């Protein structure tokens, strides 16, 4: 969750009020289009619908309304901005991208209603301190600091009211709005992504389940000198409240000014954990939000937070990914195409030119695996080259289709780790991380 504190506003929890918000947003956008169209016609211009739609005023309205609604409406905006990638207009991607860092928090009165319902009236007596000003706010919930009577500091994640009940309707309404506005190509089949988004959001809204994922990761990484995770406090945990031990730390992005050796170590830890998740655990925390990683300068460990988006992968799918990465490491395009087909990147009628571009993208993404020694993420234009090829596919209407859902979530995590390593300007021996995790996962290293 983001540490940025923004204004408080009540979360609309009833389905009708949330639908009204979206309807109001659509009406406001329509009014802006009409006014802008009249203005441009008066100037002798012949504006296109897309030009009228994607104005700064409309962009502001979309982002502001979704940020105030929070819940699935905001989360879907975040997911689309990262997962649909270059298939969406860049203007829409920019609008939705704002939602990864902007969320209002609940006013105290609404927060009290949520806590009273979950813990019962008089719950304050169970704490020596409770800070009603959240330390973080995001799309599904906000986090508060508290202290028990025995002195333990806790982080209390409180879910916004109505989030679980409004997931399906929020997702359906937002997608319909984007379709009607022409912001999502009609030929692009996003139904599998939409259905998986609903399922994933229901998973993330179950804080008891998230607590189990957190506990499982705690067991997997127990005794580590490199990672530290919160401990679930079951006494205060409910389906819409997750109570955890509070771990101090600083935003990992603040380490940009740290010595190069520390940044290299943090980048190496990120990649080592990623490949262990894939090939040893087969369990991946797929949310790449930078706020899910912090640095504890006292213990010199990487702090891991937020396990709501954890996904368990089938053995055959992970084996196919191992073959794909191994092929990319050895520049074996035929083997890479075979692995990609097994994962589901190509359809039966996929055109050769589309396959070539997809394989080119994978080859670029595997560049750190082919590099001998440490790869300098601060000096690479890899993201620009991948984006350029992605745009090439995105503008080709014969290609538009969505990748496998499992792949989308995994790409989201891998892309986030790449971006964070680039932000830290870290140098990482990615090949060594991959080979080490392959051995630990029982796979024969491909040297």
Catalytic center residues: 287
Q: Which residues pair with 375 in a beta bridge?
A: 428
Distance CA 232, CA 139 (A): 21
- 140 close to 163: Cβ distance less than 8 angstroms: yes
- 216 close to 277: Cβ distance less than 8 angstroms: no
Q: Is 257 left (phi over 0), alpha (psi -120 to 50) or beta?
A: alpha
Distance, first Cα to last Cα, the chain: 39
What's the Cα-to-Cα distance from 228 to each of 25, 148, 165, 184, rounded to whole Å? 42, 21, 33, 41
Q: Which residues pair with 242 in a beta bridge?
A: 157
- 121 close to 24: Cβ distance less than 8 angstroms: no
What's the Cα-to-Cα distance from 275 to each of 283, 284, 297, 359, 436, rounded to whole Å? 10, 9, 25, 21, 9
149, burial (CB in 10 Å: exposed 0-12, middle 13-18, buried 19+)? exposed
């Amino acid at each position: 969750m983001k540490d940025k504190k923004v204004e408080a506003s009540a979360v609309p929890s009833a389905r009708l009020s949330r639908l009204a918000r979206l309807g109001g947003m659509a009406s406001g956008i329509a009014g802006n289009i009409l006014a802008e169209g009249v203005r441009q016609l008066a100037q002798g211009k012949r504006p296109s619908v897309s030009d009228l739609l994607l104005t700064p005023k409309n962009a502001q309205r979309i982002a502001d309304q979704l940020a105030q609604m929070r819940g699935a409406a905001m989360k879907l905006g975040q997911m689309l901005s990262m997962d649909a990638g270059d298939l969406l207009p860049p203007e829409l991607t920019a609008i939705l991208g704002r939602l990864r860092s902007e969320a209002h928090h609940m006013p105290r009165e609404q927060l009290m209603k949520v806590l009273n319902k979950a813990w019962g009236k008089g719950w304050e007596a169970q704490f020596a301190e409770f800070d009603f000003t959240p330390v973080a706010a995001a799309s599904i919930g906000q986090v508060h600091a508290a202290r028990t009577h025995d002195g333990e500091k806790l982080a209390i994640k409180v879910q916004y009211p109505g989030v679980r009940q409004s997931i399906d309707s929020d997702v359906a309404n937002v997608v319909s709005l984007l379709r009607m506005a022409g912001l999502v190509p009609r030929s692009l089949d996003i139904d599998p992504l939409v259905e998986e988004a609903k399922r994933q959001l229901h998973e993330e809204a179950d804080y008891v389940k998230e607590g189990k994922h957190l506990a499982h990761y705690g067991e997997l990484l127990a005794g580590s000198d490199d990672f530290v995770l919160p401990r679930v406090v079951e006494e205060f945990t409910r389906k819409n409240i997750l109570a955890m031990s509070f771990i101090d730390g600083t935003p990992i992005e603040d380490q940009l000014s740290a010595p190069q050796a520390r940044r290299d170590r943090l980048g190496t830890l990120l990649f080592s954990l990623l490949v262990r998740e894939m090939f040893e655990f087969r369990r991946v925390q797929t949310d790449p939000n930078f706020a899910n990683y912090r640095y504890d300068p006292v213990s010199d460990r990487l702090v891991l937070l937020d396990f709501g988006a954890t996904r368990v992968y089938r053995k055959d799918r992970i084996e196919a990914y191992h073959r794909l990465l191994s092929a990319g490491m050895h520049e074996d395009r035929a083997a890479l195409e075979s692995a990609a087909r097994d994962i589901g990147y190509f359809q039966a009628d996929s055109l050769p030119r589309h396959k070539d571009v997809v394989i080119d993208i994978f080859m670029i993404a595997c560049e750190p695996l082919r590099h001998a020694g440490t790869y300098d993420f601060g000096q690479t234009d890899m993201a620009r080259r991948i984006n350029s090829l992605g745009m090439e596919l995105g503008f080709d209407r014969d290609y538009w289709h969505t990748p496998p859902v499992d792949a989308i979530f995994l790409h989201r995590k891998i892309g986030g780790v790449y971006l964070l390593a680039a932000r830290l300007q870290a140098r990482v021996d990615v090949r060594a991380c991959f080979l080490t995790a392959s051995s630990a996962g029982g796979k024969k290293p491909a040297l």
